[in-house]
Amino acid sequence: MDYLGDPVKDDPTRRLANTALMAKTATGASPIRRRSITARSLDTKRVMRISSGVDPERFEGLDPDATLAWRHYNLGRLLLFVFHAFEARMLDSHHDAGFEDVRQVHLNVMRHIDVPKGTRIIDLAARAGVTKGAMGQLVEECVRLGLVELSRDPADGRAKIVSYSKRGREFMAVTRRAAKRIEGDFADLLGAKRYESMRADLITLREKITARALTR
């Protein structure tokens, strides 16, 4: 399991840009207060490299609109933006490591497979939030790419178990190293203490959301 690492040990523990500019008019009148809201980071095209085949203009999904700030800066959209930034860098790392044939959509399979027993296609579909048919097609592509292998489910002869192949394990080793490097980059942007605090808060939020769901 070295290619994935310790799931416990390695478990992870822009804000609204409201800029007020004050400018005095030539006549000495009251200062003009100009409020600028930027929905897309100025660093977007550097963070999400075009070489990944990802269009950074779609990351935010909405044009900046000061009257609809809640749509740009709710937690879900902010987390989605960071996820896209993370995934685009991850895909670049895969391509640089020789996995040029892997596309972003294939990550939806690779990130959800259990180790070492593998995972049924229907469970992969549930984790990815797609239909069983759609996941089945993605799995077939990953089989052709040599990333995964299929075997019969001993508990249900009609079901198939998806597990990592040798190339898939190499792919996940690259993933593990890239994740550490990307998180280091993000920590540099926020500062180590702020980043670790944010990570810890997200872990706590995940635990509490899960606990609440289990009691319903």
Helix (H) or strand (E) holding 153: strand 148-153
Is 5 inside any structural domain?
Answer: no
Is 29 inside any structural domain?
Answer: no
Is 153 inside any structural domain?
Answer: yes
Cα 126 from chain centre: 17
Give dist(CA 101, CA 99) in Å, integer.
5
Domain coverage including residue 165: 57-65+73-195
pLDDT, tens only, 51-60: 344 454 455 5
Is 158 inside any structural domain?
Answer: yes
pTM of the model: 0.71
Side chain identity, residue 109: V
Q: How many domains does the chain have?
A: 1
Is 78 inside any structural domain?
Answer: yes
pLDDT, tens only, 173-207: 999 999 999 999 999 999 999 999 999 999 999 99
Is 150 inside any structural domain?
Answer: yes
Residue owning tokens 């890239």? 178
Is 9 inside any structural domain?
Answer: no
